[in-house]
Structure 1
Amino acid sequence: MTVRAKVSLRAPGLRQPMPLPTRSLLAWIDTEPDGRPRLLGFELDIPERVTLRPDDNDVHAEAEFWYADAVRYVRPSAEYRLWHGGEVGSIRILEVLRGR
């Protein structure tokens, strides 16, 4: 499932720039009954950029979720916390491009 999204990082989120495309970020989409986060992996890319910088805010990107059940959770206008060993920002889904 591929989406167009807006990514916003927060301080103290990423400690250093991250090469693009990256598969290092996860979307926290829900919380399991036992309190653990339900995380979905995706590949993030930003057209004409080679890095995601720690101070990036409201950056338009494409994200390709690689789990088949992502379609159950990922919806336009939904916003999820970004996870990279801790919360580093958010990803807001603007539009589903493929994989409905």
Structure 2
Amino acid sequence: MSEILGKWIQAEGQSFPGLWFEFRNDGSFTAEYEPMGIKSSGTFEIDGENITMQQTEHTLGFIGEFKGLFTVEKNQLKMVLASNPGGARPADLSEARIYIKE
């Protein structure tokens, strides 16, 4: 799990540049997308390349379990999550967004 810990900011040229996630050692996360005033938080679990996020707070009410996949290579996180709470885990990383470690 330690490879995903820290703050990751979505790179330019993607849907939500500047969106960031911060994953903490206690299994909690926070996220923010300042241009839209969106904040979220909750907990996460890692199993290999699978990530499961339990989003318990979200400015727009998107609460629930989000399943996803991720990889970390040096200072780059590739992560893709289900579009909606309770949705199926994506099959691969083909639609992953890229985040850079702060």
Q: TM-score scaled to structure 1, two decimals?
A: 0.29
Relative contact order, higher structure (CA 8 A, sep 6+): 1
Q: TM-score scaled to structure 2, two decimals?
A: 0.29
